[in-house]
Structure formats: C-alpha cells, structure tokens
Chains A and B, each alone.
Chain A
Amino acid sequence: MALDGKTSEYKQIGSTPDRPDGLDKVTGRARYGADIHVPGMLHGAVVRSPHAHAKIIKIDATKALALKGVKAVVTRADFPEGLEGEDWNLQENCMAGEKALYDGHAVAAVAATSALIARDAAKLVDVTYEVLPHVTDVDAAMQDGAPIIREGAADYSVPEGMHPNVVRYFDTGRGDLDKGFADADLVVERSYTTEAAHQGYIEPHACMGQMGADGRGEMWVCTQGHWFIRRMSTAVLGIETTNIRVTPSEIGGGFGGKTTITFEPLSLALSRAAGGKPVKMVMSRAEVLRSTGPTASASMDIKMGMTKDGKITAAHGTFRMQGGAFPGAPVDVTTMLAFANYNIEHVHHIGYDVLTNRPKQAAYRAPGAPMAAFAVESTIDEMCRELGLDPINTRLKNAARDGTRSTFGPKFGPIGLVESLEAARDHPNMQAPLGPNQGRGIASGYWMNWGGETSASVAMSEDGTVTVSVGTPDIGGSRASMALMAAEAFGIKYEDVRVNISDTGALGVNEPTHGSRATYASGLATIKAAEECIGKMCQRAADKWGIDVDAVTWEDGAAKPSGPNAGDHDPLTIGEICAEMGETGGPISGHYEGSPTGFSGSFGTHVVDVEVDPETGHTTVLRYLVVQDAGKAIHPAYVEGQFQGGAAQGIGWALNEEYIYGEDGRLQNPIFLDYRIPVASDLPMIDTVIVEVPNPGHPYGVRGVGETGITPPLPALANAIRSATGLRLTGLPMTPPKILAALKAHGDNG
C-alpha cells in the first residue's frame, strides 16, 4: 500500500485542532477508572505480603469475615489449578500460592460495603509466614548460593550449569568479533547499571468487576488494552473470554504498565464470592509502586572497537536484567536493539533474564531499549572523546540508513536516523554557549514499533457525519489523530468526525495501545474502513445516476461523475447521500480487521545541556532538544507531546528515579515523595524538531512515535554530566549524592 493515501496538499493532516475529549478532561466530566459507581457496589482491598520472600503457612480470615459489612474474602484457593506458562505467572502474581515472592505480593483480598471497612478487614486477615532468604539485585541473584526464587522456572533457552534464577538466555549476533576488534585503533570496555524505574502514571490502577452465578460478567477498568485484560483475567479465573465484557475507562497514563493485569481479576473473584455484587478496587500509590511492574533493572558490559577516523569495527554487549519474581525482563528486545542505530559488521549480544524478589516487571516505554542505549551511547561518547572526534559526525559516519543490514538481521527500509542527526547538528541549541560547570550531551535512540491485531469500524450518520470506533484506548490524543485521518479520507471537517473507544463486545480483538502502534495501526484501520464507506457511497451515487460505479470519483466529501460522464450530474455530497441511505440500500458502514505489518521504526537524537552544582551534586537541565522521525505527523502538537513526554521520563530515570530496597528486601520509597519523578519546575521547555521520512507501510506515511523518546535521554544526560564534570558515571540514577561522591573522590568540588 505504498503511501497510497494523499502524500501532499493535505487539508486536515498536519493541523492541530483541540482534542475532542479535551473539555471532558479539563472539566472533570471524563470518567476514569475510579469514577465508576453502580448500585449495590462493594469495595475491595488487598492483603499484601510484608516480606520479600516467605512461605505462606496459613491464612485465617475468621476475624475479617466477622467484621460488619464484610461480604467476601478470597485467597489462591478460590482460583483454578493447572495453569501453565505465562497464564500461571499472571495468576501467581495476582494472588500468591505457596510463597510470597516479593514485598507487596497479594496473598488475600476482601470485599466490603465501604472502602474503609475493606481496608480494616484486610488488616484482620491473619497470615502466618515462614520468612525465607531473599535477593533483589540482578548480579547477586546469579551468584552461587543465591536464594532460588522458583526451581524449574528456566525455559528451553538456558544452557545447563546456570543458576536456577536465570530463566531465559539470549545469544545473537553475526560476523567475526576477533577480526573486528583487531581492526580497531581503540577498544573500550565499560560496565554499566540501571535501576528499575516505574512508569509513574498519575492515575493509579482502578477497576470494577461483576460476575454472577451464571459465570458471566463485566469489567470497567483503567487499561491500555481491554482485550488483553479480558483474555488474561479469564485465563486466571478459568472462564471463557466472551463471558466477560470489558469497557475501558479514560486513562491517566500507562506507558506500558497498563497492558497487563495485576489485581483486576480479584474484583471478579470477589464479586463471584459475594453473590454477584459488583466490586470496585482502587490502588493506593504505595500499592502501585510495590505491586505493579516497574521496568527491569540492568547490569551490562559493553566492548566496542573504533578506528581513529570514527568507524565502529565491532561491538559486544552482555546484558543481565531482572524483571522480578517472574520471567519477562525485556532483555530479548535489548539483545536485538542495543546497537541497532549503527551499521556494524561484527556484533554480538548476550542476554540473561534473571528472577529476583521484586514485583513482576511490566512493559515501560520502549522496554529494554533505554538501558542498552545508556551503555552503548555512553561508550561511544567515551570513544569520541578519546579519539577527538565529533559525536554527531561520528554517529553520522556509522548511522543505519535505507538498505543497511540491521544488527538484528533484516535490512532497514527508509528510516530517519541520518536526518535526525543532521537536524540536531543544525539546531541553534548546538551553538548555545556553555559556562563553568556546564556540559552538553548527545545521544541517539531507536524503537522498532509494532502493528498488531487491529479492528475498527466507521459508520455514516444520516446527516453525513461520521462515527469511528476503534479498540485502542486514547492515552496521548489518538482520538484527535483518528478524526484527522478520517476527515482527510472523507474530505470533510474534523468536527464532523466522532471517535469512540469501543468495548470488547463491539469490535474484534484489538491489541492495546502499546508498541507505538495506535496512530499507525488504528489509523490505518480507520482509513481503510473510511475507504470502504466511500466506495459504498460512490455506488449509491452511481445507482442514482444510472452509471457504472467505476465512473464515479470521490472528492472533497462528495461523489462526482467522472470520465465520459463528467459534468452530467451535480455532485452528491456526503450529507445528501447519507440523508437518503435508508431508501437507497440501508445503513452505510465500513470495517477493517487485520495485523498491519508495515509499521517501521523511529529513530531520534537528543541534545541536552546541563549544569552540575559542584557543592551539592545537583544537575540542572538547562536546555533539551528532541529530534525524531515521525514519518508524517498527523497532529504535530501531539507528536511533540510524545517527544517531550518521553524525554521527561528519561530525564527522571537518568537523574532521580530508582527502586530502593532495604536489607530486609522491602521497598523503601513506595510514595512519590521518596520516589522522585520530575515535576514541571525540574525541566526547561523541551524543544522539538519533527523529522518526516515517510513510512511506506502507512497510507499517509505515519510512524509510531511514542516510545523512541525515552531511549536517548539516559545516555545524553550521562554524556552531558561527563562534559560538565569530567566524570563518567556508569550507574543510574545520577543523583546528587552520587555525583557529589564522585566529585569528592575526584577532588573536584573544592
């Protein structure tokens, strides 16, 4: 479908109208997860383990059940047995079985007539534990003698002889590393670490579940993907998927963390135990941080070779990641993308997915890519410094481009890394003068994007306005993007399109809003469904005029006779055709379903200027520039918002955010006062440049843009701090105490 839509002279694409859900969201009318209230509703609360690793000896709910207002208590005994693979992992994570595997792991849940009673009752559930040794550090978890989280959890990929906590192993690459390193004038080896960072969405997880004695029910839930919630929840409970209808609420951020289940099935289990009454559950912030997935933490070794004129000759990376007490750390993706920015003939990656006593990790914006970018882009910066090379020109020299064989195998098609580097090089921020204790850092990043299962419908109304139904929740303004693409396809006004996020009963399966896919995949589906409607409207016009449909064209929202019939009839507008559709054949609608595969990836380059206070170690971000390829920006303001959001989260990950565990294995900072995400006063206005190298796999050239932006900030900040202080920090986050200690060790803070 190579760019079979319009490629120039767009009337709607590229404009920046207000989002259609904006008024609802600024007036409080939009309904988020916790806004649901239904008659007879109960409230749920979860009993969570205070231990990092403990055998559950006994659960006694007698006192809780005796409390007035308590209607049900559920434990693992209320869930089916015999699940395997990821279904078992999900069930075990939602409700512990024989052992509590991390601080915050659910061991029981309570439903009561008020949230207060439910919380009081949860405290009355008496759980007897036998505390076991624990481990929360990825390197420690791989050592001989480390506590074993779960015997037999390793899959086919793990060679014999590794610690049982290593549950997946990856080994990818090509070429001759010895030759590649022999060809280098400089070989640099460094080790790096990153800490787990949470997605930090403002809206805590919330849901309402109802399930009656007939095994049928419904859920209202804050999620990025309600079909995923349905499939996972029903698998955990052992019921058929279509027995549960799931409606998504509005969503206050997800960033990957709301693509899975954590406590949602508990609302259904409690409802079933309470005679079918609906049960609402809302997490506290502490529950979010203790029990929902942050991303993995990482320990990495990088070795790279470079000639004195800047050509990368070889690269090797070893990546160890822990994703909590279950398999799933995104090291598989890391071992594909770590060096993907560059054209490298000799390249190799080793990856270990390691269990620890931490919460089950969840996807977080470009999962697995930012950690590797931190290690690889920091190493390249070191090499450029040692060889006296310009960091942008060196990246340009090695940059992947159309036709380059990627480090993970296939050749790239049209991509925009070179264009992003050139735009960064030419940006005024590169010329801004730097003062004492100030430094500039540059880094590039990549995310490969995703298509995924997609189903969408478009329905014509009697007045010629249009309703678009998609299955991807609107997190970052996708309603506006869908409306713009539909309006462009139909040749009508943006305001004449309404976009609904449908529930699981209204469309076929849709994957979540993840993988930077919503604007790409649901947008493509919307365009295709609109084109089906246009075809049907052309047919109605042809029938009315008594000509062949092939002699009808669609232009500016109207059917027009063409060819030999041109001018024989007045155009029939969309409104005129739809006003008569009841008498000309009935309703007109279009539909698309498929798994579009032409998603292509997005590259970006970031430039940051910082000032490091030598007395406190505090880093101030002075300027920040994001340059990224969007293919074609449908709504440029929301594309810029994605760029800025990714950068802000990356800055937080680089400078402040971390999961801090005590010696007892308990999370020490489970609130936003202590887990410090960036706030507005921490950041400058983040400058953006949208590069547009059209993606041939989308009618309008769209590439997903949501995830790439979090990849470069980690190394860009490290490179800037290196420039400002002369110190190479190899462990994130680069907090003021850490920088101050490094300055003192180096004797640079007076």
Chain B
Amino acid sequence: MVEVNLWSSLRRFADGQDKVDVPGKTVGELLDNLVAAYPGLAPVIKAGVSISVDGEILPAVKSAPVKPDSEVFLLQRMKGG
C-alpha cells in the first residue's frame, strides 16, 4: 500500500481523510485504485492532476514507478505561460 496525500477539499470525496492508502506500483495503478476506492475522486482525476512522488512532480507519467514507502501527493494540474 502507498500513502497518498490529498489536498484539503478532496477530503469530502475520501471519507474525510486527507491521506489514503491504496495499492499500486505505478502512478497509473495508484490513480486507478484511488478512483476504485473513492469513486468521488473520478472527476478530479479526469479533470487532470499532477502527482508528486518523492519530491519529483510527474505530470501524467502513468508508468512512473512508486514504492510502498514513497511520499506521494496529489496536486493541482500544472500549467505555465
């Protein structure tokens, strides 16, 4: 299981938790399992998010590996000018 940190307003889609444990060895698996466990997060994921794994912000690299002790944050989708 990997601990995924959610931003505050997502708590209402995750039973009030700001950290949830989901299985997954890649970013893609984590996202799929997040939606499976907490369907309310589906529109969030669909709208686009970034994920930080051990301090590195990954835009949408679903194949990126994740370890059980990785520090994972769900972040707003990035954009720039």
- A contacts, CB < 8 Å to B: 155-157, 169-173, 199, 255-257, 259, 330, 332-333, 335-336, 348, 363-367, 408-413, 447-452, 514-517, 595, 597-599, 697, 706-707
Contact = CB atoms under 8 A, between A and B. Distances in A.
A366 B81 CA distance: 6
B7 interface: yes
Given A171-B9, A172-B8, A597-B58, A449 B75 contact: no
Contact of A332 (B52, B59, B77): B77
B12 to A, nearest CB: 8
A598 B60 CA distance: 13
Nearest to B78: A450
A180 to B, nearest CB: 16
Contacts of A515: 78-81
B17 interface: no
A450 to B, nearest CB: 5
A171 B59 CA distance: 21
Given A156-B43, A333-B79, A409 B61 contact: no
Contacts of A363: 79-81
Contacts of A366: 80-81
Contacts of B40: 156
Given A156-B44, A171-B9, A409 B81 contact: no
Contacts of B56: 410, 413, 597-598, 697
Interface in B1-19: 5, 7-9
B79 A410 contact: no
28 contacts: A155-B47, A157-B9, A172-B9, A257-B81, A330-B79, A332-B76, A333-B78, A336-B75, A348-B8, A363-B79, A363-B80, A363-B81, A364-B81, A365-B81, A366-B81, A367-B80, A367-B81, A408-B73, A410-B52, A410-B54, A411-B55, A448-B57, A448-B78, A450-B59, A450-B79, A517-B80, A597-B58, A697-B56
* Most B Cβ at <10 Å: residue of A170, A172, A364, A514: A172
B37 interface: no
A514 B75 contact: no
B34 to A, nearest CB: 14
On chain B, which size bracket covers the interface?
Answer: 20 to 34
Contacts, number: 99
A126 B9 CA distance: 47
A598 B59 CA distance: 11
Interface of B: 5, 7-9, 40, 43-44, 47, 52, 54-61, 64, 71, 73, 75-81
A380 to B, nearest CB: 23
Contact of B43 (A155, A348, A595): A155
Given A171-B7, A172-B7, A451-B59, A409 B73 contact: yes
Contacts of A706: 81
Given A363-B79, A410-B54, A449-B80, 12 more contacts: A155-B43, A156-B47, A255-B81, A365-B81, A408-B73, A409-B52, A409-B75, A410-B52, A411-B71, A514-B81, A597-B58, A597-B59
Given A172-B9, A597-B61, A410 B73 contact: yes
